[in-house]
């Protein structure tokens, strides 16, 4: 975990409300990722702050992949937006926590449309030059090769893909709302849940049995809850929020499709 997301930020002080929002946010990612068909298995869920992330949902592939289907990318989009959807469902409010998720979802949907020809409306076409081509100058590489009207259509398609993914994420969470509340409460108390524990909790096993069986070999999952001084949500500066779905570049299915960066709050 330290290699993927950096060391723990032990000096950060969170209010109880922030911890609760972060826990639901991460459980939103985890549940959407678990119940959609084409996402990678959830490996770890944590509300321990690391790097710029307030919490993390680590999703790792079970095999190497070099091609990614449109269905898989759409499921990944939904998982990215699961945290924001959970905030809306539980708190009827949104926070800055999904900033990084939205950035990655927008970048992925734009590549789906402009590089991979995955728009049903615009068809199998490439729009513009690949901004990562090393032999193009910065100015030349940034000049669009399409009209303003086409740019507007591309923007509309990006919005449609993201909106569809958001609605799918919200639907999954509505269908599994009891599990969302139950496991989020456990996450608030124990801060970290690993893959096996998550699956057992989803199967209905009690938290006492699941966490007591983990033994001393997984102290992060059973360590006592930290006591932190309270601080209001309003007084917290904007930052990359709880949304960090982490997929190391070398193993990420999105990488096969050219999506940049790690996959998960901050």
Enumerate residues 6+ apart whose C-beta is below 8 A from 197.
210, 211, 214, 221
Nearest C-alpha neighbor of 19 from the set 171, 236, 245, 178: 236
Q: CA distances (Å), 119 to each of 43, 115, 151, 216, 242, in order?
A: 31, 10, 14, 50, 30
3 state SS of 137: coil
Q: In whole angstroms, what is the distance from residue 111 CA to residue 158 CA? A: 9
26 flagged as catalytic = yes
Q: In whole angstroms, what is the distance from residue 241 CA to residue 257 CA? A: 25
3 state SS of 68: coil
Among 26, 87, 191, 264, the one annotated catalytic: 26
First to last CA, the chain: 14
Question: What tokens were used for 125?
Answer: 């076409």
Length of the chain: 266
Q: In whole angstroms, what is the distance from residue 165 CA to residue 142 CA? A: 28
**Angle at CA 77, nearest 5°, toward 153 and 16?**
125
Catalytic residue IDs: 26
């Amino acid at each position: 975990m330290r290699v993927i997301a950096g060391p723990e930020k032990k000096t950060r002080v969170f209010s109880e409300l922030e911890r609760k929002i972060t826990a639901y946010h991460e459980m939103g990612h985890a549940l959407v990722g678990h119940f959609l068909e084409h996402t990678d298995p959830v490996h770890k869920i944590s509300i321990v702050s690391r790097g710029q992330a307030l919490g993390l949902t680590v999703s790792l592939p079970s095999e190497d992949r070099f091609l990614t289907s449109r269905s898989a990318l759409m499921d990944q989009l939904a998982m990215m937006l699961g945290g924001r959807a959970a905030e809306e469902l539980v708190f009827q409010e949104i926070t800055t926590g999904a900033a990084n998720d939205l950035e990655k979802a927008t970048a992925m949907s734009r590549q789906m449309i402009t590089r991979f020809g995955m728009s049903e409306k615009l068809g199998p076409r490439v729009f513009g030059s690949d901004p990562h081509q090393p032999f193009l100058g910065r100015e030349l590489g940034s000049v669009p090769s399409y009209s303003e009207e086409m740019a507007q259509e591309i923007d509309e398609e990006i919005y449609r893909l993201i909106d569809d993914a958001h609605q799918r994420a919200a639907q999954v969470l509505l269908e599994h709302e009891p599990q969302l509340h139950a496991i989020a409460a456990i996450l608030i108390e124990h801060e970290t849940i690993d893959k096996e524990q998550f699956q057992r909790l989803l199967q209905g096993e009690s938290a006492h049995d699941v966490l007591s069986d983990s033994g001393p070999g997984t102290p992060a999952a059973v360590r006592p809850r930290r006591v932190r001084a309270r601080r209001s949500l309003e007084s917290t500066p904007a930052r990359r929020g709880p949304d960090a779905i982490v997929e190391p570049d070398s193993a990420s299915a999105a990488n096969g499709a050219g999506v940049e960066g790690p996959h998960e709050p901050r």
